[in-house]
A and B are shown apart, each in its own frame.
Chain A
Amino acid sequence: MSLERPDTTDDAAIERTPDELEALLGDLVVARDDHLNAPGFVIRPDTVQETLRTLKQQAGYDHLSVVSAQEYENRYESIYHLKKYDDPTQEVSVVVPADKDHPVSESAEPVFRTADWHEREAYDLIGVEYEGHPDLRRILLPETWQGHPLSMDYDKDRPQIATLPEHANPLEDHHKDEESDTMFLNIGPHHPATHGVLHLKTVLDGEQVVDVEPDIGYLHRSEEQMAQSGTYRHQIMPYPDRWDYISAGLLNEWAYARAAEDLADIEVPEYAQVIRTMGAEMCRIAAHMLALATFALDINGDFTATFMYAINDRERVQNLLEDLTGQRLMFNYFRLGGVVWDLPEDREAFFSDTRDFLDHLPESVEEYHNLITSNEIFQMRTIDTGILPPEVAKNYGATGPVARGSGVDYDLRRDDPYGYYDELDWDVVTEDGCDNFSRLLVRMREVEESAKIIEQCVDLLEDWPEDERNIQANVPRTLRPDDDAEIYRAVEGAKGELGIYIRSDGTDKPARFKIRSPCFSNLQTLPEMANGEYIPDVIAALGSLDVVLGEVDR
């Protein structure tokens, strides 16, 4: 795949050359540090807000994908990866070096709301301090943790202490004053409606939510450290399966594969791209089925019909994926440069099984519409609750079905094409309701679009000439990308933009591996949707966000 961006001039987003951008920023730019995916401008640590505001307001870079921080021998560095919602192929990186002894840098939170959590994470794991940040504390590790684990002098063997403060009496301590009757309520980290180990610190006034604060990090299992200690060629690929573990394995593997292939300049054979596209969309169906199942569980209650129906359909698609990859959940099927093996023998049986599944799918979707979306109680709980206006969604860096449910037409499969998507006939689904119901509808309609994609892939694969079935490019046994090459690449995962930032240092392992998790940004929007609503709406909003904690915490 080429690294050059197509020259599209949308009237909403005028594309500027790197030199024009440099001229726009003027004196703010200290030096250039271009990345493989985007021009990079080095700025002084006290001009972060000014630079980002100029880029956002005058050049239209309205999407802060991720903030990735790292430590060098002589400095700390934070990188702000900016994009445009209208055209994500237009990217720019803002590089902010900070002093080695006192790593202080200006916070970007007043310009991009999403920088709040991203900077807290950078502070937690790397140790960069952000001046002007509203609430700079640890986000993933316990507050009493010693040291910053991804900094250079961290000692992994030192003892640590974690606290369990939740036994305090919440009723007494959280009264605002004599008159008020607000009450502090913990939801989670062990709770059936939090979809894993999420902890919501909720303050209630009567039955209404005054404030809800997600407390994450209960599944922070050092994924970035794991990737940084693995070799590019084989040792990293098993881990992406475990980020978003709702069966979205192939989508995650693609995120790593895309970044590493572009970094090492590997061309993937077309046949492998078709197989990848087909497998990835099967994963998307499985992931959306579980989102639907658990959402219905949250709204309708106990282990009821919809859950069992959706799990039944998931079993079907998991069987197909098992035939293809050999595993039910953790596929480890992609390799850099292709996939590990061809379609299973006998091919005809696999194709007919897949077609059976696709034939059955419209009937199932109809059934779900009968069971839930046309259910009056369900509609009362979801329509016009958990409102997320499009501007707010953009400010928080929301992507995927959450953004598309708010009418933000952003899908990397179409806007920043990879794989075989641009050759196929399918549509990006958006809904304008901005509420819980819209987000669910987007997922259900996306399942149908995925089915269309799979069907076209099966047609292509069936007719593929036997002697052109090339499943893997020639990739050197040991990959050593150029020293100090940096790249940020994203794919459309089941939950949104799943991006990987890699910096190589000339060895066979990445020097910095940063995961941009869509759920991390999406979960940040929860207080916007929940504050002022009733407590059941918090549960509905959380369910409609469809976060998976493995990906939030990494």
Chain B
Amino acid sequence: MSSDQPFITDESQVVTETRDARMTGQGDRFNSRLREAFGSSPFILTKFDKFLNWCRGSSMFMLQFGIACCSIEMMHTYAVKHDLDRFGSGVPRASPRQADVMIVPGTIVSKFAPRMKRVYDQMPEPKFVVGMGSCTISGGPFQEGYNVIKGAEEVIPIDIHVPGCPPRPEALVYGVVKLQERVANGEAAPVTVKPYELEEFSDLERDELVDKLTDQIDDDELVMRYNFADSP
């Protein structure tokens, strides 16, 4: 940094400078420590991808998505004291179409998995997922449950897992910052096998169960088929 004076503490000086700058035109108003770091050259040379990834990682829009216990800690992470906004992962958006990042905060059960997949599909690319809590890793304390999907990764790909039951807000902040780092470095999420897909009923392989349900479900209705015997 070329600036000798890191901070100007005298407020009257700031006000004067700002006013002067307005009167004389552009002046120093657009100056910044970053700008000074570049020195006399107004240009930087970088790869476009790298620049774009830096932008993506620095400003992430979260999806307001509450499922279970973890969503309470997620709310605390957004709110005062922990304030996730400090890291550029701002206030949550209610619509999936405005969001980049989905935090999955809780247990996924049979009835909800198709809906979660649908919400995930509605988010625009590129999109990222933070799995919050043990339930999204393996089903957590409810792993033995007859109705519980053994981890969110059975349904959608997950970039970062934050363990805990529930994770503390600090842990979630750490997870989100790690995700931002990865995004800024252009690291892609690992390709995962998703055993449960949303598909049309007529596309399912015919078996005993499908035959039994033919009267109840239309051919073009979207369904998700769970193989609990093969789950980890």
Bound together, the chains give a CA A250 to CA B228 distance in angstroms of 33
- Residue of A156, A158, A221, A290 with most chain B CB atoms under a 10 A cut-off: A221
Q: Is A315 an interface residue (CB 8 A)?
A: yes
**Contact partners of B147 in chain A: CB under 8 A:** 140-141, 149, 220-222
Complex interface bits, A475-493 against B, C-beta within 8 A gives 1, otherwise 0: 0000000000000000000
Q: Mark out the residues of chain A between 138 and 159 whose CB falls within 8 Å of any chain B CB in the assembled complex.
A: 140-146, 149, 154, 156-159
Q: Which residues of A contact B (CB under 8 A)?
A: 140-146, 149, 154, 156-167, 189-192, 195-197, 217-223, 225-226, 229, 238-239, 242, 245-247, 290, 302-303, 307-308, 311-312, 314-315, 328-330, 549-550
Smallest CB gap from A307: residue in B: B79
Q: Are B109 and A161 in contact (CB under 8 A)?
A: no
Q: Are the CB atoms of B112 and A189 closer together than 8 Å?
A: yes
Q: Which chain B residues lie closer than 8 Å to A162 at the CB level? A: 110-111, 113-114, 223-224, 226
Bound Cα distance from A191 to B95, whole angstroms = 9
Q: Which residues of A contact B78 (CB under 8 A)?
A: 303
CB distance from A199 to the nearest CB of B (A): 9
Instruction: Count B-side interface residues using an 8 Å CB cutoff.
Output: 60
Which chain B positions have C-beta within 8 A of A239?
A: 141
| Contact call A190/B119, Cβ cutoff below 8 A | yes
- 20 contacts across the A-B interface (CB closer than 8 A): A144-B217, A159-B227, A159-B228, A163-B114, A165-B221, A190-B119, A196-B67, A197-B112, A219-B106, A220-B111, A221-B109, A221-B145, A221-B147, A222-B147, A225-B145, A238-B141, A312-B81, A329-B69, A330-B166, A549-B68
Of B81, B147, B204, B224, chain A has the most CB atoms within 10 Å of the CB of B147
Evaluate contact between A219 and B109: CB separation under 8 angstroms. yes
Q: A190-B115, A217-B111, A329-B72 are in contact. Are A196 and B66 (CB under 8 A)?
A: yes
A146–B209 touching, CB < 8 Å: yes
Cβ-based interface call for B222 (8 A): yes
Cβ of A165: which chain B residues have Cβ within 8 Å of it?
A: 221-222
B residues near A222, Cβ cutoff 8 Å: 142, 144-148
Does A157 lie within 8 Å of B168, measured CB to CB?
no
From DSSP, what is the main secondary structure of chain A's interface residues?
loop
Contact A160 B110 (CB under 8 A): yes
Q: Which residue of chain A lies nearest to B135 when distances are taken between CB atoms in the complex?
A: A221
Give chain B residues whose Cβ lies under 8 Å from the Cβ of A196.
Answer: 66-68, 71
Contacts of A192 in B (CB 8 A): 64, 94
> B69 contacts which of A189, A226, A245, A308 (Cβ < 8 Å)?
A245
**Is B180 located at the chain interface by the 8 A CB criterion?**
no
Tell whether, in the assembled complex, residue B80 and residue A308 are in contact, meaning their CB atoms are under 8 Å apart: yes
B-side contacts of A189, CB under 8 Å:
112, 115
B65 interface contact, C-beta 8 A: yes
Interface string of B8-22 (1 = CB under 8 A from A): 000000000000000
